[in-house]
Structure 1
Amino acid sequence: MPNPSALLDPKLIYLEPSVLGYERGREILARFPDAERVEVKSHTRIPQLYGDSASAEDWLRLKREVLVLGVKKGLQMRPNGRSADFIAPSSSNGCAMACSYCYVPRRKGYANPISLFVNVEQVAAAIRKHAEATGPKAEPNQVDPHAWVYDLGENGDLSVDALVSDNVRDLVTAFRGIPHSKGSFATKFVNRDLLDYDPQGRTRVRFSLMPAEMAKVVDVRTSPMGERIRAINDFVEAGYEVHVNFSPVVVHEGWQVEWRRLFREIDDVLTPAAKAQIKCEVIMLTHNERLHDLNMSWHPKAENFLWRPDLQEDKVSQNGMTNVRYRHGWKRQWLDQLLGWIGEAMPYCGVRYAF
């Protein structure tokens, strides 16, 4: 494995006592023998990560220096229909990166360091059981024409998780034998260790892309955009299906020029093999006031672009949260523009969904 210290250098590990009963838990702890260990009743309730210890000034330090280990309790699948057919039980949550628009941080205080689950075999077994019970996909849909697709990383980034444990390798390996199914996860980090996992076309990696100018402001601690684009070719050659997420689309003065330049760059870089299989998702920015207030404490520059009351309106999300999105009429116009530019620069790239 590459040295994770650039993103992760755990000095403190919170762990549920049962973690020690799992081989994966013991493996992870052995990788960080000098880290202080603190037992907690539940990986979801760690008071030390709330309040003053998780203030905005400490957010990035906690992401780098804190790791949480637990056991995944709920193993149910949830229907999705956008990026995947089903949301699988996750092997982790939280992230070492700190994208300023991310909705996940509220889970363990806004610092939200990585939590890894050590019972990955049970996660894989639950997916297999569900896939076998579901049976073959009878009709194509926008997710995939043949396979049921299971999202493996709804609340984290598996490419970063793979710096710490073999959970991701185990899941990629498992999908080689799970019938009529694919695994899938989105990432903003290029971890070339994954190129040796031999996915055999049964795992879909979705690289999240946006113009490099905006990524330098809002995609904190992620891989550079050019590196992500170049990695698409290598991951396709290694046997992955590779799609891209154009997400989030942040509207600001000059954004049209930046996005058109991005589409041309992708077209110039991709190999014929990559172009033959690539598809995309397009997602316009959604934001919320609570995250805006937090960002003003640690990264106000990002909010100059993300918080635009002159362009945005309230929207109640599927989970009941009140968010802001671009005003409906303008959003539709801007989305149509984006789809047109994709069609011009990358006519081979099908759009699986856009909103």
Structure 2
Amino acid sequence: MSNRPPIDFRQIYLEPRAALLPRGQEILSRFPDAERIEVASHWNIPGLHGNAGMVKDWLKIKRQVLVLGTRKSLILRPNGRSADFIAPGMANGCALSCAYCYVPRHKGFANPITTFANIEDVERALRKHVLAQGPKTEANSVDPAAWVYDLGENSDLSVDALISDNVRDLVTLFKNLPTAKASFATKFVNRDLLGYDPQGRTRVRFSLMPASLARVVDIGTSAMVERIGAINDFVEAGYEVHLNFSPVIIFEGWTAAYTELFQQVDAVLSPRAKAQPAAEVIFLTHNAGLHEVNLEWHPKAERLLWTPGWQETKRSEYGGVNLRYRRGLKGKAVERFTRPPAKVGR
């Protein structure tokens, strides 16, 4: 884990249209020394995507390479889990290197950030969709009164905010949409976001896990003590802050480690912060293709993530074949995770 900025761009692959847009020009001006390489499509970059030899430079590419493109699809999808809808994201990929992240499954052997410059198109699509929903008349598990839109399905917005004003613009957009809220999960503490004045219309979900586990699988992220320590400040700055225990990874001594984590959270959070959070809990889902990639750059993490004796295959809603904890094991694990703390044992 690291507290330093996770980006140091040396190369920018860019679509010509993206470079002409105001946001694209702003991004290029932030990184004037980076080499610029024109590409026809941000999705198909010869020598970067699908190149097995690139996996040896996994961490360096994430830190040093940016792809600048335009968002083509503006479709909003129903969700019903941590959000009502999945918004068209303004980025894809991440400078952080969480070993369990599913996004690299779609990109192959290199997964740098792709940032989109056509922020106005996404803002129009979001505003139109929110207005079409009208007021939320029935409470659900996502939110009692507002339609919630996940803005960061395929990226970490706290990192994206280091690259451009896309995140600030989206927070400002939802500040002026009284029937909706923005939402995103993060593993990076970017204190610049404290000045965005969200006025309660943006939900930040801080992802937490035992520090000993995060040191192995959450490469490049903010330290757990820093994430927990930021929660009070984000609440005071006008964010709604939830906790995101995702993924929960089973390992020897995991219940004791999570008990200690809960105690740390309880000791740090202010009364105001404790009065407003909800928590999302998702147990680990892994993938054979990602396993093979990880073995090339971080085999130590795979000793925690790839445990076939405890896992079974699962077909995802998008048709992919993944691995999850076996049904009986997972049921017992969920029961232990949600048991009152006083009764939790090793």
TM-score range, shorter chain: over 0.9
Match of 1:305 in 2: 304
Structure 1 length as normaliser, TM-score? 0.93
Name the SS for the 2:339 alignment partner: helix
Aligned length: 342
Structure 2 length as normaliser, TM-score? 0.96
Match of 1:165 in 2: 164
Asked whether the equivalents of residues 78 and 87 of structure 1 are also in contact (C-alpha less than 8 Å), the reply is yes
Distance in 1 separating the partners of 2:327 and 2:50: 37
Q: Does 1:212 align with 2:207?
A: no
The Cα of 1:7 is off from its aligned counterpart by 1.1
The Cα of 1:51 is off from its aligned counterpart by 4.7
What is the CA deviation profile of residues 183-217 of structure 1, one whole-angstrom value per residue up to 9, with x for unaligned ones? Answer: 00000000000000000000000000000010000
Letter aligned with residue 77 of structure 1: L
Asked whether the equivalents of residues 46 and 108 of structure 1 are also in contact (C-alpha less than 8 Å), the reply is no
Q: Which moved more, 1:54-63 or 1:184-193?
A: 54-63
Match of 1:348 in 2: none
Q: Does 1:91 align with 2:84?
A: no
The Cα of 1:109 is off from its aligned counterpart by 2.7
Match of 2:254 in 1: 255
Q: Runs of 5+ in structure 1 lacking a partner?
A: 346-355
Distance in 2 separating the partners of 1:198 and 1:150: 18
- Cα 1:191/1:150, change in 2 over 3 Å: same
Distance in 2 separating the partners of 1:343 and 1:281: 21
Q: Does 1:328 align with 2:323?
A: no
Quick one: percent identity of the two aligned structures? 62
Distance in 1 separating the partners of 2:18 and 2:48: 19
The Cα of 1:47 is off from its aligned counterpart by 1.7
What is the CA deviation profile of residues 133-165 of structure 1, one whole-angstrom value per residue up to 9, with x for unaligned ones? Answer: 111111000000000000000000000010111
Letter aligned with residue 328 of structure 2: G
The Cα of 1:107 is off from its aligned counterpart by 3.0
- Cα 1:270/1:12, change in 2 over 3 Å: same
Asked whether the equivalents of residues 50 and 107 of structure 2 are also in contact (C-alpha less than 8 Å), the reply is no
Match of 1:141 in 2: 140
**How large is the RMSD of aligned CA atoms in angstroms?**
1.6
Q: Runs of 5+ in structure 2 lacking a partner?
A: none
Distance in 2 separating the partners of 1:277 and 1:342: 20
Asked whether the equivalents of residues 132 and 179 of structure 1 are also in contact (C-alpha less than 8 Å), the reply is no
The Cα of 1:240 is off from its aligned counterpart by 0.2
- Cα 1:182/1:343, change in 2 over 3 Å: farther
Alignment of 1:197-346 (within 5 A): 197-341=196-340
Distance in 2 separating the partners of 1:53 and 1:26: 32
Letter aligned with residue 229 of structure 1: I
Distance in 1 separating the partners of 2:243 and 2:5: 25
Asked whether the equivalents of residues 263 and 341 of structure 1 are also in contact (C-alpha less than 8 Å), the reply is no
Letter aligned with residue 259 of structure 2: R
Letter aligned with residue 56 of structure 1: V
- Cα 1:20/1:52, change in 2 over 3 Å: closer
